[in-house]
Amino acid sequence: MRIAVLGTGIVGRTLAGKLDELGHDVVVGTRDPDKTMASADTDYVGNPPYSTWAGEHPGVRLATFADAASAADLVVNATSGSVSLDVLTQAGEPNLSGKVVVDVSNPLDFAKGFPPTLFVKDDDSLAEQIQRAFPDARVVKTLNTMTAAVMVAPASPGEQGTVFVSGDDTGAKGEVAELLHSMGHEDVVDLGDLTTARGAEMILPLWLRVMGSLGNPIFNFKVVR
Amino acid sequence: MRIAVLGTGIVGRTLAGKLDELGHDVVVGTRDPDKTMASADTDYVGNPPYSTWAGEHPGVRLATFADAASAADLVVNATSGSVSLDVLTQAGEPNLSGKVVVDVSNPLDFAKGFPPTLFVKDDDSLAEQIQRAFPDARVVKTLNTMTAAVMVAPASPGEQGTVFVSGDDTGAKGEVAELLHSMGHEDVVDLGDLTTARGAEMILPLWLRVMGSLGNPIFNFKVVR
The pLDDT value given to residue B44 = 79
What percent of chain A is predicted at pLDDT more than 90? 95
Cα–Cα distance measured from residue A106 to residue B36, given in angstroms and rounded to the nearest whole number? 45
Q: Which residue of B has its CA nearest to A207?
A: B199
Q: Which residue has the higher pLDDT, B146 or B44?
A: B146
Cα–Cα distance measured from residue A143 to residue A200, given in angstroms and rounded to the nearest whole number? 9
Q: B143-164 pLDDT, tens per residue?
A: 999 999 999 999 988 899 999 9
ipTM: 0.96
The pLDDT value given to residue A15 = 98
Cα–Cα distance measured from residue B123 to residue B118, given in angstroms and rounded to the nearest whole number? 12
Cα–Cα distance measured from residue B137 to residue B99, given in angstroms and rounded to the nearest whole number? 5
- Report which residue type is found at A107: P
Cα–Cα distance measured from residue A84 to residue B169, given in angstroms and rounded to the nearest whole number? 40
Cα–Cα distance measured from residue A205 to residue B24, given in angstroms and rounded to the nearest whole number? 35
Q: Which among A210, A219, A225 has CB closest to B191?
A: A210
Look up residue B95 and give its DSSP letter: H
Residue B215's φ and ψ, nearest 5 degrees, are 85, 10
Q: How far is CA B218 from CA A104, A186, B156, B159, B169, in A?
A: 28, 21, 8, 11, 31
Q: Could you count the other beta carbons within 10 Å of the beta carbon of residue A197?
A: 32
Q: B151-208 pLDDT, tens per residue?
A: 999 998 889 999 999 999 999 999 999 999 999 999 999 999 999 999 999 999 999 9
The pLDDT value given to residue A41 = 87
Cα–Cα distance measured from residue B34 to residue A17, given in angstroms and rounded to the nearest whole number? 67
The whole-chain average pLDDT of chain A stands at: 97
Q: Which residue of A has its CA nearest to B109?
A: A122
Cα–Cα distance measured from residue B54 to residue A9, given in angstroms and rounded to the nearest whole number? 58
What value does the CA radius of gyration of chain A take, rounded to a whole number of Å? 16
Cα–Cα distance measured from residue B18 to residue A47, given in angstroms and rounded to the nearest whole number? 50
Average pLDDT over residues A40-46: 85
Q: What angle do CA B194, B173, B177 make, to 5 degrees?
A: 130
The pLDDT value given to residue A156 = 86
User: Which of A106, A108, A119, A122 best probes binding to B when mutated, by most B CB atoms within 10 angstroms?
Assistant: A122
Let me know how long chain B is: 225
Residue B213's φ and ψ, nearest 5 degrees, are -70, -45
What value does the CA radius of gyration of chain B take, rounded to a whole number of Å? 16
CB of B162 closer than 8 Å to CB of B189? yes
Chain A to chain B Cβ contacts (< 8 Å): 125
Cα–Cα distance measured from residue B200 to residue B166, given in angstroms and rounded to the nearest whole number? 8
Is 90 exceeded by the pLDDT of residue A46?
no
Residue B82's φ and ψ, nearest 5 degrees, are -65, -20
Residue B171's φ and ψ, nearest 5 degrees, are -60, -40
Q: A132-175 pLDDT, tens per residue?
A: 999 999 999 999 999 999 999 999 888 999 999 999 999 999 99
CB of A41 closer than 8 Å to CB of A52? no
Q: In sequence order, what are the beta bridge partners of B103?
A: B77, B141
Which residues of A sit within 8 Å Cβ distance of B?
112, 117-118, 121-123, 157-161, 164, 166, 189-192, 196, 198-200, 202-203, 205-210, 212-214, 218-225
The secondary structure element, H or E, covering residue B27 is strand B25-30
Nearest to A145 by CA among A81, A84, A200: A200
